[in-house]
Each structure stands twice: as structure tokens, then as C-alpha cells.
Amino acid sequence: MNMNEPDFENQLRALRPLAPSASLEENIARELTSPRAIATVESRGEAPGFFERIFPGLRWAFAGAAGAAAVLLAMGRLQPPSVLPATQSASADFETVEVTRDLVAAEDGGLVYEDEDEPARLVRYTTIERHVWTHPGSGARLEVEIPREDVVIVPIAMQ
Amino acid sequence: MNRPQSEYISGEPWQTCYAQLAPKLLLFARQWVGSVADAEDVVQTAFVKFWRHQPDAGPEHYPLLYSAVRSTALDLLRADSRRGRREQFVATDPDEPFFDPTIEHRENSDLIHTALQQLPESQREVLVLRIWGDLTFAEIATALGGSINTVASRYRYALDALRRILKPHEYERA
């Protein structure tokens, strides 16, 4: 017998998913009537904190900036602030020749709730920023790659 | 939002929702966490979180519950992975079936349980939501965050793959 698609689907639908235990509904009822429920649930989630929402990717940006500063210090091009402001040293000696930003990953972070309890989808974008400078005098080339993680919250339209 | 009176037969809106969706949500959670106990924890966390934030939710919001279950299950997997005790996806365990073992299709349910585990995750979750969650392609796209076309094509691939897996067992003659 060569079963067509609707028949196959109906055969699958004939199977009933296993029912949960009776304690599940009791536990849910208890949590939904408990004033501490939301705190318990929120603590298990991975919603971004206030600082991360306002400055997405700042953690990675700091790491990248620190790395860049370390490279510049190692090359002797950047003096400590007490001696010479960093902006003067870096901008005077090197010229920017390339700035790129490549997307390397996009991860669905699931459902979050924004203001007014409207649901929204949280998406994490991981990108690599690449900065290239050259020194016109010596021809030295400086490359810095900065990993960034941007958290974007996209409202979900209700029907 | 006006909802029919029948929705409140069981009492609170969440109770009506629970009565309709609990087995479906549990099955969906088990696509990521193997044991029934862990899956129930996932459903509980996601369900409570959803209803605390949307106490007036109606059936049109129910697809988001699947999304909440999915993200909660993935959070659990990440946490387990960080603790270094992540389990492999559960092998077929006759003591913890996906489907109700008391019905007459017991043999088929075991076969399909095993076959489902051989599908890619992206196809399996769409198939489970469509067949046993009774969601439309548009609702699945909302729950999983993809396009309707992508969801529909994954469903077709999943159905074809499932039929190929089950063919040696002559499932269709059961």
C-alpha cells in the first residue's frame, strides 16, 4: 500500500502525547499564586540586564579596546596617559586604512518581555570588527580584531 | 480582548490553556531534554513565566508558549553544559515514551519515537508543532522565529524523512 501524505499525517496524529504528571499542574498553580514566583522564574532566565540592554556589546568592546591598547603599548606607540594623551599618539602616527565588521553568528535567545509586558524576541549577533592602521613613515601595519556581541530585542506583532 | 465563555469553563485562563496544551508542551520540551522529569521542569518554568507576564493571554498567544518552552529548554541545556554534565539526547527508553502507551498504537508509537530522534532538530521541532501541537505554519514561524516558507519546507522534508525511516518497518500496514 502506498499511503499518501494526509493519511500518513493522520496516522501520526492518532498518537497522543504522553500526559504530564498530576503534580505539574499543582506546581504551576502554586507558583502562579505565589508572589515570589516571578523572581524565581526570572532568576533562571538569561534576559539581559539593564546595562547590557543600553550598551549591547560593550563588554566585548571593552575587551577589544583593552587588547588594542595593549598592542599599541607594546609597540611603543602609545604612551601612558600620565605622559601623553592616548588620542594624540594614536591618531598622529597611524592612518586608518580599513574598518570592516563581519557577522559570524546569530543566535535566537528566545522570548523576553519588554515594557508593558509585550513579548519580544531576543537575538544575539556576534560580529568581528577589524581595524587596520598603517604608519606612513615606517610602513608598519597594525591590525586589531574586536569581537562584539550585540543583543537586539525585536517586538513580536500579535495577531 | 473578548473571549468565548467556553474558555473559562476550567476557571482561570491559564487552566484552560494548561488543559489544552500540557501534553503538547511536554512532548515539545522532550525534543531537547530527555527525561520526563526535566521536561516537566521546563514546561513549568516556561508556563509560569508566560502567564505571569500575560495573565490575559488568549489562544492567539499560545504559539509563544512553545517559544518559551524552547528557550527554557535551551537555557537548561546551556546550564548543564557549563556544569559539565550535559547528557546526550536520550535514547529510546520504553519507560519514558513520547506518546501515551495505553493506546492501541503502542508498537507504532515506539517506532515513531525512535524515528523522530533520527530527524535533524530543525525538522523535528517543526513536525512536532505541526502534527501534535496543531499549529499552523504561520504560528510555527512565530514560535520558532523563521519564515513561513522555511517552516513549510522543513515540514515536508521531515515528513519525507520520517516515511523513509519508517518504511523498513512497514509502518503503513499497522
- ipTM value of the model? 0.80
Per-residue burial over A23-46, b = 16 or more CB atoms within 10 Å of its CB, e = otherwise: ebbebbbebbeeeebeeebeeebe
Residue A8 near residue B159 (C-beta atoms within 8 A): yes
pLDDT at residue B77, rounded to an integer: 83
Which chain A residues are closer than 8 Å to B40 by Cβ? 20-21, 23-24
Residue B23 near residue B101 (C-beta atoms within 8 A): no
Compute and round to an integer the Cα radius of gyration of chain A.
Answer: 26
pLDDT class of A75 with cuts at 50, 70, 90: low
Which chain A residues are closer than 8 Å to B49 by Cβ? 38, 41-42, 45
Of chain B, the percentage scoring pLDDT greater than 70 comes to: 80
Assess whether pLDDT exceeds 50 at residue A67.
Answer: yes
For A61, A123, A139, A148, B75, the CA distances from A105, given in Å and listed in that order, are 17, 10, 34, 11, 18
Assess whether pLDDT exceeds 90 at residue A122.
Answer: no
Phi then psi dihedrals of residue A120, to 5 deg: -150, 160
pLDDT class of A134 with cuts at 50, 70, 90: confident
pLDDT at residue A146, rounded to an integer: 84
pLDDT at residue B133, rounded to an integer: 94
B 137-156 residues inside an 8 A Cβ radius of A: 142, 144-145
Of chain A, the percentage scoring pLDDT greater than 70 comes to: 57
Contact (CB<8Å) A28/B44: yes
Of chain A, the percentage scoring pLDDT greater than 90 comes to: 6
3-state DSSP assignment of residue A139: coil
Assess whether pLDDT exceeds 70 at residue B128.
Answer: yes
Contact (CB<8Å) B159/A5: yes
A95 beta partners: A134
How far apart (Å, rounded) are the C-alpha atoms in residues A26 and B47? 12
How far apart (Å, rounded) are the C-alpha atoms in residues B54 and A116? 10
How far apart (Å, rounded) are the C-alpha atoms in residues B144 and B125? 9
- Give the closest-approach CA distance of B7 to chain A in angstroms: 18
**Is the C-alpha dihedral spanning A3, A4, A5, A10 positive or negative?**
negative
B 82-101 residues inside an 8 A Cβ radius of A: 97-101
User: At A97, which helix (H) or strand (E)?
Assistant: strand A95-113
User: At A120, which helix (H) or strand (E)?
Assistant: strand A119-134
A 76-135 residues inside an 8 A Cβ radius of B: 108-111, 113, 117, 119, 121, 123
Residues 6 or more apart in contact with residue A54 via CB below 8 angstroms: none
A1 touches chain B (CB under 8 A): yes
